[in-house]
Chain A
Amino acid sequence: MKKIVFAVAALALATTAAFADVIADRQAVMKENAKQVGTLVKMVKGEAPFDAAAVVAALTALNDNVQKIDVAASFPAGSDQGDTTASPKIWEDLAGFQAQVDKFKAVTAAAVASPAADVDALKTQVGTIGQTCGTCHEAFRVKKG
Chain B
Amino acid sequence: MAVFRKLAVAALALGGAGAAIFWWLTVPERLAPDTLAALGTGDASRGQRIFDAGGCASCHAKPKSEGDARLQLVGGVELKTQFGTFVAPNISSDPNDGIGAWSLEDFANAMLKGVSREGQHLYPAFPYASYARMKPSDVADLYAFLKTLPAIEGRAPDHELAFPFNIRRGLGLWKQLYLSNEPVVAFAEGTPENVLHGRDLVEGAGHCGECHTPRSLAGGTEKGQWLTGARAAEGDGVVPNITPEGKDISGWSEGDIAGYLETGFTPEFDSVGGTMVEVQKNMARLTAADREAIAAYLKAIPPHPNGFPAQQPKPAG
* A82 contacts partner chain B, Cβ-Cβ < 8 Å: yes
- Which interface class (under 10, 10 to 19, 20 to 34, 35 or more) fits A? 20 to 34
B276's nearest neighbour on chain A, judged by CB, is: A138
Contacts of A41 in B (CB 8 A): 263, 265, 269
**Complex Cα spacing A41 to B236, Å:** 30
B314 in contact with A130 (CB, 8 Å): no
Contact A81 B263 (CB under 8 A): no
Q: Residue on A with the closest CB to B270? A: A34
A66 to chain B, nearest CB (A): 13
Q: Within 8 Å CB of A35, what residues of B? A: 269
**Which of B238, B269, B308, B316 interacts with A37 by CB under 8 Å?**
B269
Please name all residues of chain B whose beta carbon is closer than 8 Å to the beta carbon of A144 when the two chains form the complex.
237-238, 311
State A17–B317 Cα separation when bound (angstroms): 5
The verdict on A96 contacting chain B, using a C-beta distance below 8 Å, is no
The residues of A that contact B275 with a CB separation of less than 8 Å are 138
**Distance A86 CA – B273 CA, assembled complex (angstroms):** 11
Can you name the residue of chain B whose Cβ is closest to the Cβ of A20?
B317
Instruction: Tell whether, in the assembled complex, residue B238 and residue A145 are in contact, meaning their CB atoms are under 8 Å apart.
Output: yes
Known: A41-B265, A145-B310, A145-B311. A13 touches B274 (CB 8 A): no
Q: How far is the CA of A145 from the CA of B239 in the complex (A)?
A: 8
Taking a contact as CB atoms under 8 Å apart, the answer to whether A145 and B269 are in contact is no
Measured between C-beta atoms, what is the minimum distance from B236 to chain A in Å?
5
**Which residue of chain B has its CB nearest to the CB of A15?**
B317
Question: Any chain B CB within 8 A of the CB of A76?
Answer: no
Distance A17 CA – B270 CA, assembled complex (angstroms): 26
Residue of B nearest to A131 (CB): B264
A-B contacts, 11 listed (Cβ < 8 Å): A16-B315, A37-B269, A45-B259, A87-B237, A126-B263, A130-B271, A133-B264, A133-B272, A143-B237, A143-B273, A145-B229
For the complex, is B118 an interface residue (Cβ under 8 Å from A)? Answer: no
Cβ–Cβ contact B274 & A141, under 8 A: yes
Tell whether A137 pairs with B277 under 8 Å between CB atoms, given A16-B315, A20-B317, A34-B269: yes
Chain B residues near A34: list those with CB within 8 A. Answer: 268-270
**A-chain residues with CB within 8 Å of residue B306 when the two chains form the complex:** 145
Known: A34-B270, A144-B311, A145-B311. A134 touches B237 (CB 8 A): no
Complex alpha-carbon distance, A82 and B312, angstroms: 10
A106: Cβ under 8 A from any B Cβ: no
Q: Is the Cβ of B274 less than 8 Å from the Cβ of A138?
A: yes
Chain A binding site: helix, strand, loop or mixed by DSSP? helix
- With contacts A37-B269, A44-B263, A137-B271 taken as known, whether A83 is within 8 angstroms of B237 at the C-beta atoms is no
B205 to chain A, nearest CB (A): 22
Give every chain A residue within 8 A of B229 (Cβ-Cβ): 145
Q: Interface residues, chain B, CB within 8 Å of chain A?
A: 229, 232, 235-240, 259, 263-265, 268-275, 277-278, 280, 306, 308-311, 314-317
In the bound complex, what is the Cα–Cα distance between A138 and B308 (angstroms)? 21
Q: Hey, which chain A residues are within 8 Å of B314, CB to CB?
A: 82-83
Q: Which residues of B contact A87 (CB under 8 A)?
A: 236-237
Nearest CB to that of B229 among chain A residues? Answer: A145
With beta carbons under 8 angstroms apart, the residue of A14, A83, A134, A145 that contacts B277 is A134
A134 touches B272 (CB 8 A): yes
CB distance from B240 to the nearest CB of A (A): 6
Chain B proximity of A32: nearest CB distance (Å):
11
**CA A131 to CA B263, docked complex, whole Å:** 9
Query: Contact partner of B236 among A17, A88, A137, A138, CB < 8 A?
Result: A88
Q: Which residue of A lies closest to B238 (CB)?
A: A145
**CB < 8 Å neighbour of B240 from A13, A126, A143:** A143
| A44-B263, A130-B263 known; A142 vs B270 contact (CB < 8 Å) | no
When the two chains form the complex, which single residue of A14, A20, A44, A142 contacts B274, counting CB atoms closer than 8 Å? A142
Q: Name, among B236, B280, B310, the residue most crowded by chain A CB atoms within 10 Å (CB to CB).
A: B236
Would you call B271 and A134 a contact (CB within 8 A)? Answer: yes
Q: Looking at the complex, which one of B237, B263, B268, B310 makes contact with A142 (CB distance below 8 Å)?
A: B237
| A137 close to B273 (CB less than 8 A) | yes
Q: How far, in angstroms, from A130 to B273 measured CA to CA in the complex?
A: 11
A137 in contact with B310 (CB, 8 Å): no
Decide if A67 is an interface residue (CB 8 Å cutoff). no
Residues of B within 8 A of A14 (CB): 317
